[in-house]
Amino acid sequence: MIRLINVSKSFDKGNSHAVRDLSLRVEQGETLVLLGSSGCGKTTTLKMINRLIEPTAGTIEVGGEDITKQDPVELRRQIGYVFQGIGLFPHMTVEQNVELVPRILGWSIKRRKERAHELLQLVGLPPKEFASRFPDELSGGQQQRVGVARALAADPAYLLMDEPFGALDALSRETLQQELLALKEQLKKTIVFVTHDIFEALLLGDRIAILHQGKLEQIGTEREILSAPATPFVRDLFAKPARQLANFQGIV
Amino acid sequence: MDTVSLSTFISERLPELWLRTGEHLMLTGCSSGAAMFIGIPLGILVFRKSWLRNPAMGAIGILQTIPSLAMLAFLLALLHRIGALPAIIALTLYALLPIVRNTLTGLEGVSPQVMEAAKGIGMTHGQRLRMVRIPLAVPVIVAGIRTAAVVGVGIATLSAFIGAGGLGQFINRGLALSSTRLILLGAIPAALLALVIDFMIGAFEWGLRPERKLGNKGPVQAMIRLTARIMPILLILAGMFVYFIGPCAQNRMTSPQAKTGKVIIGTKNFTEQLILGELMAQIIEGQTGLTVERRFNFGGTMICHGALANGEIDLYAEYTGTGLTAILKAPVISDPEKALHYVRKAYHERFNARWLQPFGFNNTYAITVRKDDAVQQQWHTISDLEDTAFQLRVGFTAEFAERPDGYPGLSRVYDLQFLEIKDLDPAIMYQAIANREVDLICAFATDGRIAAYDLTPLDDDRGFFPPYQAAPVVREQCLTAHPEVGDALSLLGGILDNTTMQRLNFEVDGKKKSPADVARRFLKAKLKTGDTHRQRPPAK
């Protein structure tokens, strides 16, 4: 369980806030999508959860314990993180990238190699073909699968995903979304997923939290939000794609 | 004008070329290695402690701006020794800048995204540095080492000035004797060495790069890659082989045994010094049972003097005026006897060294004109110029034009005003007066070209120029241990007047004979002992 209580973050000593007074709860095994346009504070929120960024005010709990009471390195090792820009290590092979967290956790060579191969299989990259490649020998979609495999390597209870499919073409994105959906059912992780794509949010989120200018507009299931948008912003946000969809269907 | 053919010239010097190349590799290798061991950790430290960055990089940058010779001279004074050690330290200091700077640049250049990912997956500070930042900075760091090594090969040629050997020895000797062949014999192998080292480190860096799975991957490729990776080891082994096992290594390895009966003679790096060095060496070899080691061509007065004061050499020839002004920093004394007396006393007290009897000549500045002009105008002394000076065009070296014991003092003492003064390089000054482009020059009294170009030095009738009498300066310790050295050298007392010295200098400068030959022939004629290298029983 991840809990944010009145969390604020300002990068300029309080003149403006990237995140303002945010409170939310991610239940065990649930996927929460943070949805919002760029600059709404969703990535900042994600980074505060594993202490890449420290909040200016408020409390964050992971597993029921205040994260400021936990060692940041230990904390991060329990949380898988898939980065926006992928963030694979260019000097390591695919296998070395995936087994990195097990390696720094001190697993045996044999065990972490097995784990790496198992995960590569899971994300659809046959280890025989891909294990010894370097990141720059992979396509964007393949790189992102490695990013997911790396995040899952040490079997963390939590997974933070920062627009993992944002840079991909529409087709690879669709495939990966479907795969993640299947993976999610299989792995039962607690996931916080950041996106600006409404359809992605609707597809992957058990619940959706809509952020606007650092503030939480509404949090709820797809049904709750669509049937009862809490603010004009939320209503507009969903009205526009609905209109587009209607137009598209009209053409077809 | 060189008499021997090119192939003979090279084949005769091949063993020495081998030795010098080995020394050169040793100097460059040791200094680059040391600079890596200091520079890379320093670069990392400077990266981590940002407050250290400006002072450390500033200090290393300043080191780089110190002229190489000044650095060598300074280290010589600091360490009290000549040879490889100060040279390696100097080269290491020069190699630091590219290595530290590239280490820092490489570490800073790693993408912040990658570093955030490393932090985000839970790597500690040390792990991020060790497993991500440093490996990603390696290509830039290796490029720094490459720069340092290549620059080092170049600077290492200067180490010959302080007796560290290397290919610079040839260059140095070539410059002293104005022999282009000798200069090239040092310069071309040094340049090739730089290219080879550059290539090898480049290949090593290529070998380190991650091996792509895609693309060419045959056994040949694998072999090339392996070779590239062991390149540095090959390089070091090659250097060690040449240095320790090469044909000339035996000499060096065995020489310390003969230490007891050995006298070490140094010289500065110009023709007259080399001839005097040979004269002293040959007379000691001929008259005593001692072995002479020649450490010639030191890069200047201070280095020669430093070597003597520190016991690295036993003797060299110094000039009274130089000892007085440059070393003792005393005011000019124009009386030759008084000047000699002064340096003798001061050297005895301060440096525990003795000035023996001067060779006889006085290598001072000489105001020199063409002989036909002198005859026609009845010029004998500088005072004779007084009435005609305003019509004369003169050529001075830049140094003479500025030194207080040069033109400024001269014009005051003799009340001379010339028509036109040109700053000329010493090498073209003689040509200029011979071609009637100038009418008067400031020659060195013993320069062989005075006679060769049919010039006449005018008498310094008012005693303005300080005396520069050359004499052997010997460590007292050496004289006590081997009194026969003093006896042998006393045979050289007063045997060279200015004209003779001019002639000997010209034999080398003009006729391209070797200083050793010129000295041998002179001694043979003068003492009939020239070629008797230790064949007679030692005379006490």
B152-165 pLDDT, tens digit each: 999 999 888 777 88
Give dist(CA A57, CA B51) in Å, integer: 30
Flag the least confident range among A157-166, B227-236, B508-517. Answer: B227-236
- Please state the length of chain B: 540
- Per DSSP, the three-state class of A159 is strand
Whether the Cβ atoms of residue B433 and residue B370 lie closer than 8 Å to each other: yes
- Decide if pLDDT at B213 tops 70: no
- Strand-pair category, B420-423 with B393-396: parallel
B388-403 pLDDT, tens digit each: 888 899 998 876 777 6
Instruction: Pull the structure tokens for residue B7.
Output: 């192939």
Rg (CA), chain A: 19
Provide, as residue numbers in chain A, all residues whose Cβ is less than 8 Å from the Cβ of B135. 91
How far does A12 lie from chain B, in Å, by closest CA? 21
- Decide if pLDDT at A47 tops 90: yes
pLDDT value for B245: 63
- Please state the length of chain A: 252
Provide, as residue numbers in chain B, all residues whose Cβ is less than 8 Å from the Cβ of A47. 120
- Decide if pLDDT at B418 tops 80: yes
CB-CB under 8 Å, B122 with A93: no
pLDDT value for B536: 42
Q: B116 and chain A: CB distance < 8 Å anywhere?
A: yes
Identify which of A79, A83, A104 has the shortest CB distance to residue B117. Answer: A83
Q: Which residue of B has its CA nearest to A129?
A: B213
- Decide if pLDDT at B520 tops 70: yes
What is the dihedral angle through the alpha carbons of A179, A181, A182, A187, rounded to the nearest 10 degrees?
A: 110
The DSSP call for residue B345 is H
- Per DSSP, the three-state class of A12 is coil
Identify which of B119, B121, B214 has the shortest CB distance to residue A100. Answer: B121
CB-CB under 8 Å, A151 with B121: yes
- Decide if pLDDT at A15 tops 90: no
Instruction: Pull the structure tokens for residue A126.
Output: 């046959």
- Decide if pLDDT at B535 tops 50: no
**Number of other CB atoms surrounding residue B521 within 10 Å:** 15
pLDDT value for B6: 82
pLDDT value for B344: 93
pLDDT value for B530: 41
- Decide if pLDDT at B178 tops 90: no
- Percentage of chain A beyond pLDDT 90 is 46
Q: Show contacts of B405-414: CB within 8 Å, 24+ apart.
A: B405/B325, B405/B332, B405/B365, B405/B464, B405/B465, B405/B466, B406/B365, B406/B442, B407/B442, B409/B464, B410/B367, B410/B382, B410/B464, B413/B462, B413/B464, B414/B382, B414/B383, B414/B385, B414/B386, B414/B462, B414/B464
Q: Which residues of A touch B (CB under 8 A)?
A: 47, 50, 52, 73-77, 79, 81, 83, 85, 87-91, 93, 100-101, 104, 132-134, 137, 150-151
CB-CB under 8 Å, B122 with A75: yes
Per the listing, tokens 């792509």 go with B212
Provide, as residue numbers in chain A, all residues whose Cβ is less than 8 Å from the Cβ of B137. none
How far does B228 lie from chain A, in Å, by closest CA? 19
With cut-offs at 50, 70 and 90, classify the pLDDT of residue B202.
confident
Average pLDDT of the residues of chain A: 89
How far does B120 lie from chain A, in Å, by closest CA? 6
Give dist(CA B136, CA B111) in Å, integer: 9
With cut-offs at 50, 70 and 90, classify the pLDDT of residue B369.
very high
The conformational region for residue A198 under phi > 0 = left, psi -120 to 50 = alpha, else beta, is: alpha
Instruction: Pull the structure tokens for residue A114.
Output: 């097995």
Q: B216 and chain A: CB distance < 8 Å anywhere?
A: no
Strand intervals (E) in B398-529: 420-423, 440-444, 455-457, 470-475
Give dist(CA B494, CA B357) in Å, integer: 7
CB-CB under 8 Å, A104 with B123: yes
Report the first-to-last Cα separation within chain B, whole angstroms. Answer: 42
CB-CB under 8 Å, B122 with A101: yes
CB-CB under 8 Å, B122 with A74: yes
ipTM for the complex shown? 0.88
With cut-offs at 50, 70 and 90, classify the pLDDT of residue A40.
confident
pTM above 0.90, yes or no: no
Count of CB contacts below 8 A, A vs B?
A: 63
**What are residue B469's phi and psi, to 5 degrees?**
-80, 135
The DSSP call for residue B261 is G
Per the listing, tokens 């004269």 go with B279
The DSSP call for residue B130 is I
- Decide if pLDDT at B531 tops 50: no
Identify which of B122, B124, B132 has the shortest CB distance to residue A89. Answer: B132
Q: Which residue of B has its CA nearest to A85?
A: B113
Best residue of A74, A81, A139 to probe chain B, by most B CBs closer than 10 Å: A81
pLDDT value for B427: 66
Give dist(CA A176, CA A139) in Å, integer: 13
- Per DSSP, the three-state class of B467 is coil
- Decide if pLDDT at B208 tops 90: no
B238-282 pLDDT, tens digit each: 777 776 665 555 444 444 434 458 899 999 878 899 999 999 999
How far does B213 lie from chain A, in Å, by closest CA? 6
For residues B38 and B406, which has the higher predicted lDDT (pLDDT)? B38
- Percentage of chain B beyond pLDDT 90 is 36
pLDDT value for B246: 56
pLDDT value for A226: 87
For residues B142 and B334, which has the higher predicted lDDT (pLDDT)? B142
Average pLDDT of the residues of chain B: 84
Whether the Cβ atoms of residue B189 and residue B17 lie closer than 8 Å to each other: yes
pLDDT value for B492: 92
How far does B43 lie from chain A, in Å, by closest CA? 21
Give the amino acid at B465: F
A108-120 pLDDT, tens digit each: 999 999 999 999 9
B3-52 pLDDT, tens digit each: 568 888 888 788 788 888 888 988 898 899 999 999 999 999 999 998 98
Q: B215 and chain A: CB distance < 8 Å anywhere?
A: no
- CB neighbours of A105 closer than 8 A, spacing ≥ 6? A77, A154
With cut-offs at 50, 70 and 90, classify the pLDDT of residue B216.
low
